[in-house]
A and B are shown apart, each in its own frame.
Chain A
Amino acid sequence: MTIAPERMEELESHPPNHGSEPSGIYKWVTSTDHKVIGKNYMYTALVFFFIAGLMAELIRTQLFAPNNHFVSPQTYNELFTIHGSIMLYIFAGPFVFGGFANFLVPLQIGAPDMAFPRLNALSYWLFLTGSVTMLLGFLTASGAAAFGWVAYAPLSDSTYSPGAGPDLWIVSVALVGFSGIFTAVNLVTTIFYLRAPGLTMFRMPVFTWNMLVTGILILISFPVLTAALVMLYADRHFGTHIFSVKGGGVPVLWQNLFWFFGHPEVYILALPYFGIITEVLPVFSKKPVFGYKGLVFATLAIAGLSTGVWAHHMFTTGTVLLPFFSAMSLLIAVPTGIKIFTWIGTIWRGNLDFKTPLIFAIGFIVAFTMGGITGVMLASPPIDFYTHDTYFVVAHFHQVLFGSAVFAGFAGFYYWYPKLTGRMYRESLGKWHFWLTFIGFNITFLPQYLLGLRGMPRRIAEYGPSDGFTFLNKVSTVGAYVTAIAFVVFLYNFWISWRKPIPAGDNPWDGHTLEWATSSPPPSHNFHKLPPIRSLRPTWDMNHPEHADWKAHQEELARKKSKEREAAL
């Protein structure tokens, strides 16, 4: 391997088909291009994020004062159910494994498209129709589902939750779940079979690695949810008694089935965002990622452990093996800690460029570390018994999930915005967006830890004036409003960059990975030419031949050899 592969090499180009390609809405409906589908996913998910965010504002408004009657208790239950369901099933997951992964994985591995483009399109349509189904519940006479995003039996059976709303919820989650399974099959196949020549598994960007692991996790966990939904539906309509004590069923079985999906799901939501952070930090620190293999193995370890911890959501049921699930949950802190250290190692002594993506990424590390540490606390059964179903848990999972889906999600959105659109966002508005989000987020959720420790239960529509919850709830609500303003700033930024575009150029950040080697936005089938892939950072090697990674690697090998020779002499 002594010939320096500095020149660009022609990849077999694909015969263009531009003349007959549709445009406008027909293009949107008929496209099988992973970039179009990826963007569709992202924008749909953002619209639903906005809707579910609005519900969060209504929930917080209801809790602003004691004995408040802003919404009725029934509406309140529907609001927190659909808020949680949209955020988890429709926003946080599909935004990243439908949106970012669809758009980026083929670009990062130098593939012309996903492995099954038509299946990919079908996934999007199932996702969109499933998402709309979730909202349809509000239009039915009995209202939307009101049993929380976890739909615990027996609350979710036909006696306690009659009507069409809960059935729509079941259908919606099933459709979105199938969409997720198809996307996962597509991602895993694409990563296994469509990598560019020379792009070995250990030259894949960490984002792609994390998407592979996420795909496998989806394949393990989503079918369990679908099966559980079928059983729930059968219990509701076909007279089976799988989850009801009356006919000899076991209600806690639902919890086991649900959380066997639900806990890996939490990591399905987190791992891709870890991947985004690992892409953003090195580029804005002007350094290669620190501890690449460690990160990959940490990802695999997190994924493995995440499938063995489901019952830590069920400590208080008294039917689970506490030491086993507690130990497994505590163990997850080890690989997660490795990740946080490698991220800090990546920015350590780097030449930091505090652009919006970087500050969002650092915001993520702060938020996620706080949420993660309270997660370690909750993994200990004595603490969990005390805080279970209180606002402490609410604060914990919002810090973890808001931390990843929103902070890391926007870090990625700003980072790849030039690649998505070919345009640049406004830097100052991006910073406003960050600071408002960060301040609003902390004002919203930090008081909720204290509320939880004082005993405020989850999912209550009202509290009394003498409970001592009033002040902290007011603070939390104000924080939620600040977060809402931040989102308006984001929308304005988006709008203005659309109305008055500033061309971004193909590689505005001096990026490292393959997606920055093509034009912005990329042409159909992605690459006219591929740079040679000789290291983890092919685009960096191409743009900085004097500091190329493969060169440094070669020099190191040569040094080692000469040392060995000296030692032999």
Chain B
Amino acid sequence: MKLESRIYVGVGVFFVLVVVIYFLWSGDSGNSIFLVASALLGIMPGLYLGWWSRRMSPRPEDREDVSLEEIEGAVGYFPSYTIWPFVLGIGVFLTALAFVFGAWTAVIGMGFVISAAIGGTLSSKPKAMAHR
């Protein structure tokens, strides 16, 4: 976890350095905003990961000498197949087309999006979690 956090913090620190140099040199505030936002994008997840890494012991994937016997529990829940991402994708597509062809495609599209939201939520009930 430590290294993961350092990568993000590194991104943030890099942008802080660049924005300082760039702003002092050019005085250009518009583009400096990009760089400040990018610095935040690095620092926020970096500090979050770092905060956790200080509070937990190294995970099996952070240790070089771990043996597989030490590992317990499920890796995660992985659904095998579901129609809802497809329905949602079509819905988003039709909704987006409204920006070109008018609101009527969005009406159809939102129908798909709402049904996908309902269907996807229902199919995520713990009972469906047969996989580990």
Question: Taking beta carbons and an 8 Å cutoff, which residues of A are in contact with B?
Answer: 1, 5, 9-12, 14-15, 17, 21-22, 27, 29-33, 111-113, 115, 117-119, 121-122, 124-126, 128-130, 133, 164, 167-168, 170-171, 174-175, 192, 194-203, 212, 216, 219-220, 224, 233, 253, 256, 260, 300, 304, 307-308, 311, 321, 324, 524-525, 530, 532, 534
Contact = CB atoms under 8 A, between A and B. Distances in A.
Given A126-B92, A300-B10, A532-B68, A14 B131 contact: yes
A22 B81 CA distance: 8
Given A31-B81, A125-B88, A224-B34, A197 B93 contact: no
Interface in B66-93: 66-71, 74-76, 78-86, 88-90, 92-93
List of 9 A-B pairs having minimum Cβ-Cβ separation, nearest first: A125-B89, A121-B85, A129-B93, A197-B60, A195-B61, A9-B68, A122-B85, A321-B26, A30-B81
Given A32-B79, A125-B85, A324-B21, A197 B74 contact: no
Contact of A524 (B63, B80, B84): B80
Contacts of B11: 216, 220, 304
A168 B101 CA distance: 9
Contact of B96 (A117, A171, A201): A171
Contacts of A192: 4, 49
Contacts of A202: 3
B29 interface: no
Contact of B97 (A15, A27, A29, A171): A171
A17 B86 contact: no
B66 A197 contact: yes
B14 interface: yes
B100 A113 contact: no
Interface string B47-59: 0010000000000
6 contacts: A12-B132, A126-B92, A126-B93, A129-B92, A200-B3, A220-B11
A130 B92 CA distance: 10
Given A167-B99, A175-B92, A30 B30 contact: no
A78 to B, nearest CB: 16
Given A308-B18, A321-B26, A201 B64 contact: no
B31 interface: yes
B98 to A, nearest CB: 9
Nearest to B116: A122
Contacts of B100: 164, 167-168, 171
Q: Size class of B's contact patch?
A: 35 or more
Contacts of A170: 99
Nearest to A319: B28
B78 A113 contact: yes
B4 A164 contact: no
B92 A15 contact: no
A37 to B, nearest CB: 9
A365 B61 CA distance: 33
B30 A256 contact: yes
A249 B70 CA distance: 62
A122 B84 CA distance: 8
Contact of B41 (A126, A196, A220): A220
A556 to B, nearest CB: 15
Contact of A121 (B10, B86, B90, B132): B86
Interface in B89-123: 89-90, 92-93, 96-97, 99-101, 120
Given A118-B120, A133-B97, A530 B68 contact: yes
A27 B81 CA distance: 8
Contacts of B18: 307-308
A119 to B, nearest CB: 8
A5 B34 contact: no
A524 B35 CA distance: 42
